[in-house]
Amino acid sequence: MEVQLQELIEQIKKDGVAAAEAEAKTIVEAAQADAEKILADAQAQAEKMLADAKAETERMTRSSEDAIRQAGRNLLISFRESVARELKTIVGENVGAVYASDAFGELILRIVENWANTPDAEEIAVILNTQDLNQLEETALAALKEKLSKGITLKANDNFDGGFRISVNEGGAYYDYSAEAVAEMLSNYLSPKVTELLKEAE
């Protein structure tokens, strides 16, 4: 009986140890699996953070480069506009100087003579502002009066500051040689050439 009891105790110990070992193994395996999952999650999160940081850096780099390009374009556009304005001012000043000189009357005379020799031009009207008309009345425009018999008339119009306009065939054709119109025309002609020169300088 004592032997059987001893064997039973041994069996219980053996079974208890085996159960404890199995339980411990299960706990260790679960802990190991949890650790591996935590490590994998941490690694995945770190990789995601690294990828996000890289993407953000690339986005910021592209954004900065785009901003620099745009700033460069804006600066170039601003510079070209400034050059165009300056060119228009210079052209306007030069046209104004010519129109204020003695050459103004000669210019009108030559243009009117050319129109007078055109077969289709039956009625020619030279339109000037009152001040220019009065100043030129006694000089260059006196020569035009000789052609009045050919249908050339002088008219005053104060809707423009300087220069002159020509009306042909009672307004059938209208040509604007006002200081503003000529300056605008010359500026438009010169601006593309200046732009090309600026491009060559880039």
Q: Tens digit of pLDDT for each residue in 14-38?
A: 666 666 677 778 887 777 887 788 8
Residue spans of the domains in the chain: they are 102-201
Which residue in 77, 154, 63 sits closest to 108, CA to CA?
154
Using an 8 Å Cβ cutoff, are 161 and 132 in contact? no
What is the overall mean pLDDT for the chain? 77
Average pLDDT of span 69-77: 81
pTM: 0.53
The CATH T-level fold of domain 102-201 is hypothetical protein PF0899 fold (3.30.2320)
pLDDT-derived band of residue 139, with 50, 70 and 90 as boundaries? Answer: low
Using an 8 Å Cβ cutoff, are 177 and 164 in contact? yes
